Amino acid sequence: GESVGLHLPTLSVQEGDNSIINCAYSNSASDYFIWYKQESGKGPQFIIDIRSNMDKRQGQRVTVLLNKTVKHLSLQIAATQPGDSAVYFCAEGMNTGFQKLVFGTGTRLLVSP
């Protein structure tokens, strides 16, 4: 069946480092991908999305890379800050039909000062 997974359940980095969070997806028909950040006690917060007609998209301090050949998605956070500590998860969907998303289980990012 469809699934969205993450390679690393926990990622620990030092403040100022760049972080890379990875995600593998299994549905080759998916053409929309999105990253969320979830802080403790809060709901998921939209970070950035990308459609399959792109392989890279940049936001403020974040970059999402999409490799459709190997069905891999990554989120890069530049100059990681303690406020970036949270659970990050990806989701996949399709641009047609109902706007359903399939979510991964998440990676916890821990940023040490």
Partner 1 sequence: DVKVTQSSRYLVKRTGEKVFLECVQDMDHENMFWYRQDPGLGLRLIYFSYDVKMKEKGDIPEGYSVSREKKERFSLILESASTNQTSMYLCASSWTGTGNQPQHFGDGTRLSIL
88 binds partner 1 (CB under 8 A): no
Cα–Cα distance measured from residue 106 to residue 91, given in angstroms and rounded to the nearest whole number? 10
Amino acid present at 51: R
54 touches 73 (CB < 8 A): no
Member of 20, 74, 103, 110 binding partner 1 (CB under 8 A):
103
46 binds partner 1 (CB under 8 A): yes
Which parts of 13-42 interact with partner 1 (CB under 8 A)? 32, 34, 36, 41-42
Per DSSP, helices labelled H in the chain are none
Per CB under 8 A, residues contacting partner 1 are 4, 32, 34, 36, 41-46, 49, 51, 89, 91, 93-96, 98-101, 103-106
